[in-house]
Structure 1
Amino acid sequence: MKLNFLPAGRVRMKKGIYIPGADRSETIELPVSSALIRHKQGNVLFDTGCHPSVVDHAEERWGALAWVMTPIMSADEMLMPSLACLGVNPEDIDVVVNSHFHPDHCGCNQFFKKATFYAHAKEVEAANAAGAESSGYLRADWDCGQPTQMVEGEKDLFGDGSVVLIPLPGHTPGMLGALVNLDRDGPFLLASDSISLRQSLDTDTVPRNTWNADLLLQSYQEARRIEKSGATVICGHDDAQWQSLRKGNEGYE
């Protein structure tokens, strides 16, 4: 089994959303990523990044959200070119896992027409609730008509312990992480926005864009437990960690 981390966008946000005490004028640049897991039973994509149109037309796609989370990437820093560099076509993807339904994590859902999608039932409920768009759920991104398997608790995707979906709520009601157990490089916890920045986990800091602080702190505890068992925690938007990872063809096994 192989794990490849892929560029899927880049955004700029107010630093104070994540770092307490930051000046209101300070901003932070955040990588947006996807992970391709190549298993003998099928190809899994964990998150699909930003929709290609936001490179040049962010406000048309995202509305007011584009002022809060401003895209700053070029067209070649998106998911589809990243997959193409690996020789992977959209129809080669068998499973898409959406960690949650914010548009920087599910923006390319529409391109994977042959895939079965997995999402937590509580995330689907939240995205369908009245006023969901004001919470960052944009239907054009997350709801593309493909079959979706609802996850309730932990879900072993292939029944062999190699890829296990783990609920890590707090940032959103139905946040999912994925524990990927590799033979050579060991386990990786793809934490997505349950841990956007490593600093948040290390200091028990609750970002301002958190849906439920108590649940997020419980998810931090779960992530620490998994890390103590030997897993490498991959944060959702930590630029320092992103720069240190092998990306594209230079994957993990």
Structure 2
Amino acid sequence: MGWVLYDTGYDPEIGAATASFSMRLYARVMNVDVSRKTSVVAGLAKLGLRPEDISLVVLSHFHPDHIGGARLFAKSRFLCSRVGYESALRHPRRLGFRRDLLPDDFETRCDYVEDLSMVFDSLLSVFGKVYDLFGDGEVRCVLIDGHAPRQVACMLGGPDAACFLVSDAAWSSQAISRNCPPSSLTRWIHDDWKALLENLEKLHRLALSHPNWKFVPSHCRVSLEEAECRLVRSC
């Protein structure tokens, strides 16, 4: 398979796509950093990689802070949720989606989680169907509603030492450990507040029953630094 990237983050050119008031407000709430030092290109360079080295880009959902660098990956395949993508196309304003952030040929280079083989996983099945990313059980995917429709979360490793990339199902590992939802003032950012709370509680229960797991929300600097796996890995 080669190198796999989970989300692209923002790109310095995102400023052009955040010109509207709603996008500027979104960027302020999410504490957006669009400097070249924190771009996906800079992050890959630290690993000795370039965008053209990435074989697969997994897009957890279609908010601009997760797809802002997608156009940089001109040779990569993409993986996302079909339902999540279709929801973004139907409701771009509500979901903060900008189609111009994706490559023009995105759909011809995109595969969908829903088409992957399913695998039995008694723990992850609390979120519904469990999908096998590579067909070897090493990376399992589930689709988590709440923050965005059918958000793709990926579990790496076995039940004794797993790393769970949960994207924006929670905004910090502390929120998961304490079952502490985001402020109700941020409801407008989330697609389904009730589902968000329900799935946060599921994450909380998993964290209590499996203290050795690493839960990695995309906006949690602490968990990103402490995680024993990389968001970019070779498979």
Residue of structure 2 in register with 1:190 after alignment: 165
Residue of structure 1 in register with 2:76 after alignment: 115
The superposition leaves residues 103-137 of structure 1 with CA deviations (integer Å, 9 ceiling, x where unpaired) of 1101111111222111112211111105x134310
Say yes or no: does 1:51 pair with 2:11.
Answer: yes
The alpha-carbon distance between structure 1 residues 247 and 156, as it changes in their structure 2 partners (threshold 3 A), is closer
Residue of structure 1 in register with 2:95 after alignment: 135
| CA drift at 1:237 | 1.0
The superposition leaves residues 78-123 of structure 1 with CA deviations (integer Å, 9 ceiling, x where unpaired) of 1101111211121211111100010110111111122211111221
* More helix by percentage: 2
Return the TM-score normalized by structure 1. Answer: 0.71
The alpha-carbon distance between structure 1 residues 203 and 155, as it changes in their structure 2 partners (threshold 3 A), is closer
Say yes or no: does 1:157 pair with 2:104.
Answer: no
* Aligned match for 1:217, one of 197, 210, 220: 197
Q: Which runs of 5+ in 1 are unaligned?
A: 1-40
Query: Partner of 1:99: helix, strand, or coil?
Result: coil
The alpha-carbon distance between structure 1 residues 167 and 76, as it changes in their structure 2 partners (threshold 3 A), is same
Overall identity of the aligned pairs, in %:
27
The whole-number CA distance in structure 2 between the counterparts of 1:163 and 1:237 is: 21
The superposition leaves residues 129-173 of structure 1 with CA deviations (integer Å, 9 ceiling, x where unpaired) of 05x134310111235423111223432111111111111111011
Q: How many residues align?
A: 204
The alpha-carbon distance between structure 1 residues 180 and 244, as it changes in their structure 2 partners (threshold 3 A), is closer
Query: Partner of 1:53: helix, strand, or coil?
Result: helix
The whole-number CA distance in structure 2 between the counterparts of 1:239 and 1:134 is: 27
Greater RCO, 1 or 2 (C-alpha within 8 Å, sep 6+): 1
Query: Partner of 1:61: helix, strand, or coil?
Result: helix
The whole-number CA distance in structure 1 between the counterparts of 2:5 and 2:206 is: 21
* Aligned match for 2:220, one of 238, 245, 248: 238
Residue of structure 2 in register with 1:6 after alignment: none
Q: Is the 8 A contact 2:11 2:36 kept in 1?
A: no
CA RMSD of aligned residues (A): 2.7
